Chain A
Amino acid sequence: MGRLRHLLVGVGLVSAVFLTGSNVDYFEEQLPSTMIPIYARTMVDRRAHELVFDRMFYRSAITNELRSRLVERYQVLEGGKKIKLVLRSGVKWHDGKDLTPDDVCFTVDALLNEKNPSNDAKDYREALAGCESQPKENSAVIAFRKIYHNPRERVAFHVLPKHKFDSSQISPDDDFALRPIGTGPVKGSKGRREVSFSSVPNAHRRANVAQLQLKEGGDPFVQVRTLINAGVQGVIAVAPPLRPEVAASDDVALKSYDLRSWWFIAVNTASGALKHQKVRQALDLTIDRSELRELTIGVDKDDPNPPCEFISGPFVQSSPYYNRQVKVAERSDRARAGTLMEQAGATKAAGRWTMDGAPVNLRIGMNAPLDTEARDLLNQIGNQLQAGGFDRQVYRVTADDWNRKAVAGQLKDFDLLIGKWSFGMVEYVNPLFHSRKGGKGSMNIFNYSNPEVDKILTRFDAARTDTEARDAYHDLHSLLAKDLPYIFLWKLDTKSAWRNEVRNNTIAPYYYFTEFDGWTIQ
């Protein structure tokens, strides 16, 4: 009896240590707005959905290889008009039901259903035509509207369980938004201040962390102090001023999180002096990116691995579409900028550029939330341009106005707009630069139009191989760097912080938790 009691106490203690040791709490920027993946609106949503659901295809965070946990094999049919996906058997939903091809086709139907208010579905509606389930072969055949060189990337959506919905018209206030059922490594339950995740072993995935809790982060300072005091194990985004404090702690490690986003200044090519290509090039040379980076993001000049990487075109440097032949202008070159302005017909008097008898006056706007990531960027850019001889007025554009007006090309009163774009799996920049016509150029901020650019974008659309697509975008990069409808700034990584107890925590670009199965806690 005595031995049994000792044994029970021992087992109890070991279990307690094991259970407490397998819990991870972390601070997010906010709570996810929904747990229905087709309604993801924020990066917080996308990160949370990555834990609960599986995407048809994903990129390995380690090899950048395109992989799938759900698809056993695939076959491109009809010369690329369709793709057949044979599902891996034994994959179950969190409620124990089998994943079937009907679920894949249901998700496609939901994405294509125009009554579903999904922001992400727009791209899928342009790409996908329909889906046919083949239960006998455990496969689904997805049809495309046109032939893509990268069909697998076009079907990289999170799969939804058909049996949890009455029809493909999914209400945003469905109960599923609180208690989602997925095939991912954990199941989730959303509360008012946190989301609790608990691991669900499956045939294809098994998480080592038993419990995970997403907590709503409040004040950034409190988040960091709580992390250092072991109140939580991780913070998704550490504010730049607090990074030195985190870096100084022995118990916590800072980790780069690649949001696959790049920053830009969109130039209104239809406004006043900015119609001249040489003026735009002069502006590009007036901006001192290196100084801006130091002043606004606090990047140390001597940092061997800075979180901010300059770009010369509309892609991040790690992208296959980035054209390395196009060099970045890190420092300003006021002398060359002056020459270009004079060639454009401007004259300089008392340090101010004048063109057609009037000073060159720039109305500069910035998507207001960017200020938290790059403090005072708007004023610093304004100051640099003023020092270069351009008059300027600066304005903050609210996030709502940015989403509703700037992206829709309705902020034509501005000459320059500072913003950033983020791309997940598919780096498709055609909507940013194509002329606004026939449904194309839907995100063209200043309705930029250049027939040569349009031609290249059409070439990309028509590409059948990766090489053709890459060549088209390399040409685009090179042309845009010359014509400058955008002044390209940088790719800015966010820094996460995790306590050392959390091991093997590979952070995937954009989706963050893609490799969560390998995470352990000691």
Chain B
Amino acid sequence: MVRGAAGILLPLIVPAIIAMIIWGLPGDPATTICPQGTCGETARQALIERYSLTSPYAFLYSWLSRAIFLDFGISPVTIAGKEVWALVATSVPNTALVMLLALGPITVGTFGAALGWFPRQLDAVFQGIGVVPAVIFALFCVAFITIFDLGGIGAFGIPMFEYDNWEVSPMKLLAGGLVLGLADGALSGAVSGTRSVFDTEFKQRYIGIAILRGERPMVNAAPNVLPTLIGQFRSRVLHLLSGTVIIEVILGIEGLGDLLWRATLDNDYFVVLGAAWGFALISSFLLIFQAISGVVVELMIRRSPSVPT
């Protein structure tokens, strides 16, 4: 219930908080376009009025009153002239693709650990891979891709999407997914996290009884560990989402993280809020997904046949 409510409120609360934070930082779009004393006070005032930069409340009110109609304004600095919704809309698929690719190793790791596909001896290997920091891994990848010119849309002859302004480079996406999914202990965390949840659960008395009855412990444990695993999975996805900012910036993937980073550097409030809103939307979707999954698992357990006494 709480998670569901938080999920619904997140896209509203996040822009408000972000607006207050960016207001406290030095600079604003008007100063970036027209630094004081360089292009005239009349022009500066015209910009301040145009972008409602008289106070944080005026700005937030103006932004929210348009955002509820999905009008996020036009970027004045980062990609001057481009509508923010279009920037967010073309960024989300790239971020989603990187995330999806990164989820590959993590999902395999989770299932592998749960179903015992991986021997425990492999944990050391996973941890070894996880020791490599994402930044170093990403820098290596970007140098390799750029120097050998593999960053094109059809690099290695792999056909990829090219629709209007949405272009994706397969090598960069692949590298981004790999870096996120393997580095910084992402894979090893998924394996060891899942393993420890099951190990703890398998020590429970009801599992011992189930084994004595000749039942499979996994079947008995799965419904009980599922909410924990879903929670773990959500936090891993959120962790990946934060990681996308660094990965996209380094690898030059035109995703939401890259957009947020550039806009923050440029003091482009409209794009910052648009990108933050995009992140909040993904996060809220995950929260709602977790809440619904929790309810579904609960219902499954309640509807399962009662054990004969």
The interface of chain A, by Cβ under 8 A from chain B, is 33-34, 36, 39, 41, 114-119, 121-122, 169, 171-179, 190-193, 216, 218-219, 222, 225-226, 229-231, 400, 403-404, 407-408
Could you tell me the distance between the alpha carbons of A403 and B35 in the complex, rounded to whole angstroms?
7
Which of B105-113, B114-122, B139-147, B280-288 binds A? B139-147
Whether B50 is near chain A, meaning CB under 8 Å from some CB there, is: yes
- Residues of B contacting A226 with CB < 8 Å? 146-147, 149
Q: Are A229 and B81 in touch, CB under 8 angstroms?
A: no
> Known contacts A171-B50, A226-B147; is A178 also within 8 Å of B82 by CB?
yes
Q: How far apart are the CA atoms of A253 and B63 in the complex, in Å?
A: 51
Complex interface residues of chain B between 128 and 143 (CB less than 8 A to chain A)? 142-143
- Check if B81 sits within 8 Å of A122, measured CB to CB: no
Asked if B184 lies at the interface with its beta carbon under 8 angstroms from chain A, I say no
Give min CB distance, B273 to chain A, whole Å.
15
Q: Is the interface of A mostly helix, strand, loop or mixed?
A: loop
Alpha-carbon separation in the docked complex, A175 to B148 (Å): 35
17 A-B pairs with C-beta separation under 8 A: A34-B81, A117-B30, A119-B39, A122-B38, A169-B46, A174-B81, A177-B80, A192-B87, A192-B254, A193-B254, A218-B146, A222-B146, A229-B147, A229-B148, A403-B38, A407-B38, A408-B36
B47 closest partner in A (C-beta): A117
Question: What B residues does A219 contact at CB under 8 A?
Answer: 143
Q: Which of B81, B165, B259 contacts A173 (CB 8 A)?
A: B81
Tell which of B35, B36, B146, B252 has the most Cβ of chain A within 10 Å.
Answer: B146
B148 touches A231 (CB 8 A): yes
Question: Which residues from A are CB-within-8-Å of B74?
Answer: 173
Chain A residues with CB under 8 Å of B165's CB are 191
Given A193-B254, A219-B143, A226-B149 in contact, is the A118-B39 Cβ separation under 8 Å? yes
- The answer to whether A117 touches B34 (Cβ under 8 A) is yes
Known: A172-B76, A173-B80, A218-B142. A404 touches B42 (CB 8 A): no
Shortest beta-carbon distance from A36 to chain B in Å: 8
Chain B's nearest CB lies how many Å from the CB of A432? 15
B36 surroundings in chain A (CB, below 8 A): 404, 408
Q: Is the CB of A117 within 8 A of B37?
A: no
Cβ B37 vs Cβ A404 within 8 A: yes
B146 touches A118 (CB 8 A): no
Interface residues of B in 236-276 (CB under 8 A from A): 252, 254, 258-259
Measured between C-beta atoms, what is the minimum distance from B252 to chain A in Å?
6
CB-CB under 8 A from A171, the residues of chain B are 50
B37 and A408: CB pair below 8 A?
A: yes
In the complex, which of the residues A121, A216, A226 has the most CB atoms of chain B within 10 Å of its own CB atom?
A226
| In contact, B149 and A229 (Cβ under 8 angstroms) | yes
Residue B40 lies at the interface, judged by CB distance under 8 Å to chain A = yes
* B82 lies within 8 A of A122 (CB): no
Contacts of B75 in A (CB 8 A): 173
Binary contact readout B9-41 vs A (1 if CB under 8 angstroms, 0 otherwise)? 000000000000000001100100111111110
Given A39-B33, A118-B43, A178-B80, A218-B38 contact (CB < 8 Å): no
A34 to chain B, nearest CB (A): 5
Which chain A positions have C-beta within 8 A of B142?
218, 222
Is B234 on the interface with A (CB-CB < 8 A)? no
Cα distance A400–B87 in the bound complex, in angstroms:
27
State in angstroms the CA–CA spacing of A353 and B34 once bound together.
Answer: 43
Are A222 and B143 in touch, CB under 8 angstroms?
yes
- Neighbouring A residues of B46 by C-beta, 8 Å: 115, 117, 169
**Beta-carbon contact of B147 and A231 below 8 Å:** yes
B77 at the interface (CB under 8 A from A): yes
B3 within 8 Å of A by Cβ?
Answer: no
B169 and chain A: residue at smallest CB distance: A193
Q: Which of chain A's residues has its CB closest to B91's CB?
A: A192
In the bound complex, residues from chain A placing their C-beta under 8 Å from that of B147 are 222, 225-226, 229, 231
